[in-house]
Amino acid sequence: AQSVTQPDIHITVSEGASLELRCNYSYGATPYLFWYVQSPGQGLQLLLKYFSGDTLVQGIKGFEAEFKRSQSSFNLRKPSVHWSDAAEYFCAVGDQGAQKLVFGQGTRLTINP
């Protein structure tokens, strides 16, 4: 069965600093991989996704993620965070050909001014 692990429950960074959120997945074939963001009181919004091709994918709001098959990872990065990036971030994996996604536990990001 698919699974997703986000090792960091809570991360605090200073505004302007770089950010990397970790995601490891377990899946037999090449997965569909996603990062979603959830602001307080809101639903989840897609940041970026990987299906195939270039392993470095660009998303909205200046985020990017890199798929590393050898490490079963799909880490999310941003070179310089803004206070508005404070939110909860979820990594998810989906079956090829299926719409079902399995989400990680989420990483809560706090930004220090």
Partner 1 sequence: DAGVIQSPRHEVTEMGQEVTLRCKPISGHDYLFWYRQTMMRGLELLIYFNNNVPIDDSGMPEDRFSAKMPNASFSTLKIQPSEPRDSAVYFCASSSWTANTGELFFGEGSRLTVL
Q: For binding to partner 1 (CB under 8 A), which residues are involved?
A: 32, 34, 36, 41-46, 49, 51, 90, 94, 99-106
Least distance to partner 1 from the beta carbon of 59, Å?
Answer: 12
User: Nearest distance from residue 78's CB to partner 1, in Å?
Assistant: 20
Specify the residue, 28 or 41, whose C-beta has the smaller distance to partner 1: 41
Our CA angle for 105, 111, 112, nearest 5°, is 140
DSSP string, 16-52: TS-EEE--EEE-SSPPEEEEEEE-TTS-EEEEEEE-S
Q: How far is the CB of 42 from partner 1 (least distance, A)?
A: 6
